[in-house]
Structure 1
Amino acid sequence: MQPRLGIGQRLVAHSVPCHTSASPPPPRSRLSGTRTAVSLLPRPPAHPAAASTQPVSGHLGLLPSLELDMASSSATISSLGAQAALVSKPKNHGISGTKASSSISFGLGSSFLGKTASLRASVTTRFAPKAKPVARILPEASYKVAVLGAAGGIGQPLGLLIKMSPLVSELRLYDIANVKGVAADLSHCNTPSQVMDFTGPAELASCLKGVDVVVIPAGVPRKPGMTRDDLFNINAGIVKSLIEAVADNCPEAFIHIISNPVNSTVPIAAEILKQKGVYNPKKLFGVSTLDVVRANTFVAQKKGLKLIDVDVPVVGGHAGITILPLLSKTRPSVTFTDEETEELTKRIQNAGTEVVEAKAGAGSATLSMAYAAARFVESSLRALAGDPDVYECTYVQSELTELPFFASRVKLGKNGVESIISSDLEGLTEYEANALEALKPELKASIEKGIEFAHKQQGAAASV
């Protein structure tokens, strides 16, 4: 049986001496002699790395699998942007961005998402009596992703990161201008996905037809002295027009809203989709992943932890005091003084302003936002591909609190949100409980502002 390979993937088996039932292998430790090697993008094949039975972690999550006792052998498996490792399977408790699998897993690592990041496919090795093992590589690069606002400060690096995903077959880039050059540039990257460009409203429908994931970073960026709410009047209209096109052309797609203020633009999108009769709350997401990325980074720095091991759930919203990192839920378990808790919370809440001020008017947090958005896209694609254990923090319609929208950890599946992790709000510290109550009025006002905008737009359209 031949292995099933994805686009741009190849499996090369090198003949090596091996032991058969007629020639039993000498005593050895588990996994001895089992090695894997990787060829990354256009560079010479890497030296084979000895397999380990220790869990290997990446910036976006763990790379678990099963221990394997197999005869001494050697194979070279090449996959664009891929890195393979045989490791023992740790317990998965729904850590954001992580994967648990009952098969041997390929961590499709890349330079932008970390050594063993979440760009993953699965390899299942089967054994039959006195037969050679058969490797199967799944899934193929078969998903279509559209980026609306692809020529902007977030859109360009985001397009590059998505282009590097082995799960994407088509990357469709849309903007009102200057997108052809971006597409031409990205198309030279020798990764599986085909790059297509679309310019202006007349080509928007063609861009969206048949896509699996739509990512919307379109809008004006923050400038010094601006809050996310200051962006509302401009970005609300942009999101409205784009969501109308999504509703008409790809209503079943996962929709990722990046355009700020996310606390308001997600409710706007929900109302537009309702008006179109295609609203599915399980497939509409506000991308708040950057808050988690920042929380993980700042906590690791403060406590001297390995960044790849740190996971901090962040709940609430995606602006100012509505961002609430639950430091008491940090993994691995770590204690914080009252001063550290307040310092870290405020820094995470104001991290966007920190970048805006550091850039001195030259832009906002475009690169880290693109990184976080790429992580969420990859998690969505893994869920669509059938990965059973994908967890991310995201701003969605929720019954976790009395608010209609709320950011929290969710489990993602083929149909979007499978479940919302309510346990994160249990056993909060006094500081966290007070902060949770304090954020609710501001988040409620932002949600209502978005809903009111959508209703006014509907009324204005009806009166024309």
Structure 2
Amino acid sequence: MFTLRQVTLTSITKRAFSSSAVSQAAKVAVLGAAGGIGQPLSLLLKKNNLISHLSLYDIVNTPGVAADLSHINTKAKVTGYVPDNDGLKHAITGADVVVIPAGVPRKPGMTRDDLFLTNAGIVRDLATAVAQYAPKAHLAIISNPVNSTVPIFTEALKKHNVYDPRRVFGVTTLDIVRASRFVSELKDTDPAEAKITVVGGHSGVTIVPLLSQCPFSFAEEELKALTYRIQFGGDEVVKAKAGTGSATLSMAYAAARFTDSLLRAVVNGEEGIIEPTFVKSDLYASDGIEFFASNVELGPDGVKKIHPVGKVSDYEQELINAALPELKKNIEKGIKFAKEN
């Protein structure tokens, strides 16, 4: 079993306000900062002491969001930009990390794939800007469907000859957060003790929780129900919000956790930081799968080491076998869109 460093909001906050833990500080840009994920994500990032400049961009309302956040008594300077006056250029120029929650949310009955056409165009345009104005930034892509938007981003960077696979991440941390929470509810334990590895992708059956690698045991029906809930947990939120949105607060928390881990590795040079993420990977290259989510050790240059899936149960192997063709289709869809647009 691989050990995943679970980061709670409390530990993030304590570390963010501990000046002794800080050696440098970074500019972090959030693209889509006025949206349902972007605003709570920006709030959480404002508390992170590794950030000296929080740069926010969206098509509307961003200066107001920035003004509001700038009144919070933490050290990060906050600036807000809209498309006018080369706003996107100014937002991302010099950024060490660019976090991208931009896009439309899911509605009842929609899958992440249903969002493809609208969000694919948004991601393509942002990727082009990043390639021009922030080619050395580390990129944390939240925009759904991640299985397709990461390949789109990759193709845009390749077109401008600035692609570095170590610096492009699809944020799948919410699957880990959900898995640890759902297991802890079932076993009546502290969620921090439920260290669950989730591999594959970030949509439906491509999400594969490796529950056999955690310290708990489950009856067969319990295992299947828990697996399904982890795979389709986003549907619970979409249904509960009754058409008004999707998972925004939990996604913001998960993205803040991933960004914090990335900053600790890239900016502070901390070692041994492992986070799940959807990256360029050779784990299933023989099956034609160019990208895959697994535990990844982060380093100063981004991806330092991609951990193998490890030993899995027969049931989990069946899940992986079902995930791979769907994942391949999602990836190819993103690459096809990027090349044709």
| Mapped partners of 2:293, 2:236: distance in 1 | 22
1:83 is matched with: none
2:113 is matched with: 229
| Mapped partners of 1:95, 1:258: distance in 2 | 20
Secondary structure, aligned partner of 1:115: helix
Q: Which amino acid aligns with 1:396?
A: V
1:380 is matched with: 262
Residues 119/421 of structure 1: CA separation in 2 closer, same or farther (3 Å cut): farther
User: Which segments of 5 or more consecutive residues in structure 1 lack a partner in the other structure?
Assistant: 1-91, 99-112, 124-135, 458-464
1:297 pairs with 2:206: no
1:214 is matched with: 98
1:95 pairs with 2:4: yes
Q: Which amino acid aligns with 1:237?
A: G
| Mapped partners of 1:280, 1:165: distance in 2 | 26
Number of aligned residues? 336
Q: Which amino acid aligns with 1:382?
A: R
| Mapped partners of 2:66, 2:16: distance in 1 | 26
Query: Please, which of 246, 268, 271 is the counterpart of residue 364 of structure 1?
Result: 246
CA positional deviation for 1:248:
0.8
Q: Which amino acid aligns with 1:115?
A: T
1:339 pairs with 2:230: no
CA positional deviation for 1:121:
7.1
| Mapped partners of 2:131, 2:181: distance in 1 | 36
CA positional deviation for 1:97:
4.1
Q: Which amino acid aligns with 2:54?
A: L
**Contact (CA 8 Å) 1:214, 1:255: kept in 2 or not?**
yes
CA positional deviation for 1:215:
0.4
Q: CA RMSD in A?
A: 1.7
Query: Please, which of 402, 405, 422 is the counterpart of residue 291 of structure 2?
Result: 405
CA positional deviation for 1:118:
7.2
Deviations 1:23-48 (A, max 9, x none): xxxxxxxxxxxxxxxxxxxxxxxxxx
Query: Please, which of 319, 325, 341 is the counterpart of residue 203 of structure 2?
Result: 319
CA positional deviation for 1:216:
0.5
Secondary structure, aligned partner of 2:251: helix
Deviations 1:344-401 (A, max 9, x none): 1000111111100000001110000000000000000000111011100000010111
User: Which segments of 5 or more consecutive residues in structure 2 lack a partner in the other structure?
Assistant: none
**Contact (CA 8 Å) 2:31, 2:56: kept in 1 or not?**
yes
Secondary structure, aligned partner of 1:438: helix
Deviations 1:406-451 (A, max 9, x none): 00000000100000111xx232101000110011111100000000
Taking structure 1 as the reference length, what is the TM-score of the superposition? Answer: 0.70
2:11 is matched with: 116
| Mapped partners of 1:116, 1:396: distance in 2 | 26
1:450 pairs with 2:313: no
1:285 is matched with: 169
Secondary structure, aligned partner of 1:137: helix
2:43 is matched with: 160
1:355 pairs with 2:237: yes
| Mapped partners of 1:313, 1:388: distance in 2 | 20
Query: Please, which of 119, 126, 129 is the counterpart of residue 245 of structure 1?
Result: 129
CA positional deviation for 1:271:
0.6
CA positional deviation for 1:94:
4.0
**Contact (CA 8 Å) 2:57, 2:88: kept in 1 or not?**
yes
1:417 pairs with 2:303: yes
CA positional deviation for 1:115:
3.1
**Contact (CA 8 Å) 2:13, 2:48: kept in 1 or not?**
no
How do residues 25-40 of structure 1 correspond to structure 2 at under 5 angstroms?
none
Q: Larger relative contact order (C-alpha < 8 A, sep ≥ 6)?
A: 2
CA positional deviation for 1:116:
2.8
Q: Which amino acid aligns with 1:311?
A: K
Q: Which of the pair is proportionally richer in helix?
A: 2
**Contact (CA 8 Å) 1:149, 1:216: kept in 2 or not?**
yes
Q: Which amino acid aligns with 1:212?
A: D
CA positional deviation for 1:122:
11
Q: Which amino acid aligns with 2:253?
A: Y
1:255 is matched with: 139
Secondary structure, aligned partner of 2:11: coil
CA positional deviation for 1:120:
3.0
CA positional deviation for 1:282:
0.6
| Mapped partners of 2:190, 2:248: distance in 1 | 25
Secondary structure, aligned partner of 1:159: helix
When structure 1 is superposed on structure 2, of 137-146 and 170-179 the one drifting more is 137-146
**Contact (CA 8 Å) 1:268, 1:450: kept in 2 or not?**
yes
Q: Which amino acid aligns with 2:9?
A: G
CA positional deviation for 1:137:
2.2
| Mapped partners of 2:66, 2:103: distance in 1 | 19
1:148 pairs with 2:43: no
Deviations 1:314-353 (A, max 9, x none): 00000000001100111xx111111111011000111111
CA positional deviation for 1:93:
6.1
| Mapped partners of 2:81, 2:272: distance in 1 | 34
1:63 is matched with: none
**Between the two proteins, what is the percent identity of the paired residues?**
53
CA positional deviation for 1:180:
1.1
| Mapped partners of 1:409, 1:164: distance in 2 | 26
CA positional deviation for 1:166:
1.0
1:188 pairs with 2:71: yes
Secondary structure, aligned partner of 2:95: coil
| Mapped partners of 1:272, 1:115: distance in 2 | 37
Query: Please, which of 311, 317, 322 is the counterpart of residue 438 of structure 1?
Result: 322
| Mapped partners of 2:299, 2:16: distance in 1 | 16
**Which has the greater radius of gyration?**
1
| Mapped partners of 2:156, 2:106: distance in 1 | 25
| Mapped partners of 1:249, 1:119: distance in 2 | 33
